[in-house]
Amino acid sequence: MIYKAIGVMSGSSLDGLDLVYVHFHESAGKWSYEIVAGVCYEYPEEWVKKLKNAVNLSALEYQLLHSEYGHFLGRQINKFIESYELNHK
């Protein structure tokens, strides 16, 4: 069986958003993987500032940032899918 996944990671250095498209293969209880595509999108300075300041936000402001960041991630993932033509892979 083949499982397809997009991984998303951002470290505390805030140097960028790492995305990877991977195929996981399972056969007779043994797993293997194949990295199909990967990229690191550098954060715009605006997002570096917002994320660094997140610890100073009120609960409401934090929830609003959380939502905004989710939309940002969605746009970056869509760009990744389109750039590497992953729609049908």
Q: Do residues 74 and 6 touch, judged by C-beta distance below 8 A? A: no
Whether 7 is covered by a domain: the verdict is: yes
Whether 25 is covered by a domain: the verdict is: yes
SS3 content of the chain, % helix, strand, coil (to 5): 40, 35, 25
Domain range spanning residue 31? Answer: 2-83
Whether 63 is covered by a domain: the verdict is: yes
Number of domains in the chain: 1
Whether 89 is covered by a domain: the verdict is: no
Give residue 89's pLDDT band: very low, low, confident or very high (50, 70, 90). Answer: low
Cα 65 from Cα 57, distance rounded (Å): 9
Q: Is 89 exposed, middle or buried (0-12, 13-18, 19+ CB in 10 A)?
A: exposed
Q: What is the per-residue pLDDT for 64?
A: 99
The predicted-structure confidence for 25-74, as pLDDT tens digits, reads as follows 999 999 999 999 999 999 999 999 999 999 999 999 999 999 999 999 99
Segment 5-33 shows an average pLDDT of: 97
Q: What is the per-residue pLDDT for 87?
A: 82
